[in-house]
Amino acid sequence: MLSRLLHLARAEGEKLTALRRHFHAHPELSFEEYATTERVAAVLTEGGYENLQVGVAGRRTGVIADLNGHLRGPRIALRADMDGLPLDEEGDRPYRSRHRGVMHACGHDAHTAILLGTALILRRIADDLPGPVRFLFQPSEESHVESGARAMIAQGALRDVDAVAGLHVWSPLPSGVIGYCPGPIMASADAWRCTVHGRGGHGAMPQDAVDPVVAASQMVGMLQTIVSRETNPLDTAVVTVGRIEGGKAFNVIPDDVTLEGTVRTFNPSLQASIPERMGRIFRGVAEAARCRVSFDYKEVLPATINDPAMTDLARRTALELTGDADQVRPVAPTMSAEDMSLYLREVPGTFLFLGTGNEAKGLTAPHHHPRFDVDDAILPLGAALLASLAWKYLQGR
């Protein structure tokens, strides 16, 4: 069956390339994927899907489709994200973004095309499938303000679902290489903001002011002790200050300074402990500097943690599909984050990497870079991989 699925996927290769390039040329930001949603729904309808759920969180973005939904037994969900990033694309490819200030710089155009391919080829073998498959075309992965995965789950995307799987095209891996990682594969992602309140004054007369710049500078250094002196060296964590803002003139001490940043880790208990540690540092330094602080911490996403059994099934499926042990490799976890984590927190599943780096084609830019692009040759493999994994799971193997 796996060779048949690969053959069917390759037969759809030109269509998948055309779809991916269409999505790339017409990117849309988080929860604004209206045209993308319409195109996804149209392709699914043309492919024989009925009763599509279109729209989540009160918006007409996102699609949920079921195949063999009437069948009983274990149900697997397959997920792709659809949104672009607020970047101006560089380069002169004929399918470059036509929307100024928006581009697909992370591969979500490929994810959408791949899952459409998966849906089309599984529809071709629907009578041979022993169970139901759910397809999740998710909006708003890139937004830390409102997660599309959270909205999809609230919409019932995981209702009656027993397992979930997805993939991410991955530029650090050579094109066509499938990467797997049991356990944590991507980090949690939290966001924080601290405003240091002092009392402004003349830069030449600091004795008459309470300087929040000096206090904020000390806080930046002290924050690094959370990792270097309060965290087990065998754990992994990142505490980053990404933004500092304060003052309008070189000779004026401002009233306030604002710090913003992110925290990343694979350890849920460590993630839960960091807000208290940061608050203690902020308050302690502020008191010593005669300042006060306002501190806000938001847990945005948990770590993306793959179920070992589902990941081993994916590994074995990929080996059988490709027939090449060098093409299926273990990968190290990355400190970047994904809201696929929210699905995996609810049901067992796995998230795979599919290599798209190809120096010969000039595809070397990293994710979130204005020259990022995807090797279209991998699209059929991605579709066949997800279809094969669904088939294997439903077969109980």
344 CB contacts (<8 Å, ≥6 apart)? 164, 304, 305, 306, 307, 350, 351
**pLDDT confidence of residue 145:** 74
**pLDDT confidence of residue 57:** 87
- Are 2-185+303-394 and 189-301 in the same CATH fold? no
Can you tell me the distance from the alpha carbon of 358 to that of 378, in angstroms, rounded to the nearest whole number?
Answer: 11
0.85 cut: is pTM over it?
A: yes
Task: Fill in the amino acid letter for 134.
Answer: R
Q: Write the DSSP symbol of residue 208.
A: G
pLDDT along the chain (397 residues), means of 10: 97 98 98 98 97 94 96 95 98 96 98 98 96 98 89 96 98 98 97 98 98 98 97 96 97 98 96 97 98 97 97 98 97 97 98 98 97 98 98 91
**pLDDT confidence of residue 86:** 97
287 CB contacts (<8 Å, ≥6 apart)? none
**pLDDT confidence of residue 114:** 98
**Is residue 365 helix, strand or coil?**
coil
Distances (CA, A) of 194 to 189, 197, 229: 17, 10, 21
**pLDDT confidence of residue 267:** 95
Domain range list for the chain: 2-185+303-394, 189-301
**pLDDT confidence of residue 240:** 98
- Largest interatomic CA distance in the chain: 82
Residue written as tokens 């390759």? 10
CATH of 189-301, one of 3.40.1390.10, 3.30.70.360, 3.40.30.10, 3.30.450.190: 3.30.70.360
CATH of 2-185+303-394, one of 3.40.630.10, 3.40.50.1460, 3.40.50.720, 3.40.228.10: 3.40.630.10
